[in-house]
């Protein structure tokens, strides 16, 4: 009887790369990244019978953010079942990210206010770490005001969240 030997890390990485190379749309790639992070963190995975519905909801939300259309409540509810943000303090990383991106683009708060629709006072509170959380539509508006798409803003925010699964 031979013992089962796990694949070498490089073999596993190559297998994952081969699978990812077959995916042609960025929305599915982001979904896969989300799932890989859940696996790496030993988080609960959705049951197989929910996987397709979850992937479809994930893609619809990403498309709604990109196209600036309404996010379906049922899509958000489904994804929320498998996303735990209770232990994440987002205020300070959000403040640092917004300030960094605004300054990098040489934008004033007034300009960001005009582009995003948020009042200047709200932006000041955000950059001081006084805003605890954003809804997805607010996140999309802020991204637009900073001249980014939502995914670009999320990538910058993730760098500052100091989560164990962050890929810098």
The whole-angstrom separation of Cα 84 and Cα 5 is: 33
The whole-angstrom separation of Cα 102 and Cα 96 is: 10
Take residue 16 and report the two structure tokens written for it: 């994952």
Take residue 146 and report the two structure tokens written for it: 């900073």
Residues of the chain with pLDDT under 50: 164-168
Query: What pLDDT score does 6 carry?
Result: 62
Give the Å distances, CA to CA, from 30 to 20, 59, 88, 162: 10, 9, 20, 19
The whole-angstrom separation of Cα 18 and Cα 12 is: 10
pLDDT tens for each residue of 85-118:
555 678 888 999 999 999 999 999 999 999 999 9
Residues of the chain with CATH 1.10.260.40: 91-161
Query: What pLDDT score does 115 carry?
Result: 95
b/e map of 10-46 (b: 16 or more CB within 10 Å)? eeeeeeeeeeeeeeeeebbebbbebbeebeeeeeeeb
By the 8 A CB rule, do 41 and 164 touch? yes
Place of tokens 């259309």: 69
CA nearest 33: which of 5, 62, 10? Answer: 62
Indicate the CATH number for domain 91-161: 1.10.260.40
Please name the residues in contact with 7: beta carbons below 8 A apart, sequence gap of 6 or more: 15
Query: What pLDDT score does 100 carry?
Result: 95
CA nearest 61: which of 30, 24, 103? Answer: 30
Query: What pLDDT score does 166 carry?
Result: 36
Query: What pLDDT score does 86 carry?
Result: 59
The whole-angstrom separation of Cα 165 and Cα 43 is: 12
């Amino acid at each position: 009887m031979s013992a089962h030997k796990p694949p070498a890390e490089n073999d596993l990485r190559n297998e994952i790369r081969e699978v990812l190379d077959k995916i042609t749309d960025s929305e599915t790639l982001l979904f896969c990244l989300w799932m890989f992070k859940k696996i790496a963190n030993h988080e609960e995975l959705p049951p197989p019978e929910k996987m397709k519905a979850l992937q479809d909801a994930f893609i619809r939300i990403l498309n709604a953010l990109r196209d600036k259309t309404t996010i379906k409540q049922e899509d958000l509810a489904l994804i929320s079942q498998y996303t735990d943000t209770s232990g994440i303090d987002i205020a300070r990383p959000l403040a640092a990210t917004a300030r960094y991106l605004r300054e990098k683009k040489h934008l004033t708060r007034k300009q960001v206010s005009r582009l995003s629709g948020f009042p200047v006072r709200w932006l000041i509170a955000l950059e001081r770490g006084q805003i605890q959380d954003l809804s997805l539509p607010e996140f999309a508006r802020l991204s637009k005001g900073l001249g980014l798409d939502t995914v670009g803003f999320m990538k910058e925010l993730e760098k500052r969240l100091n989560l164990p699964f962050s890929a810098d």
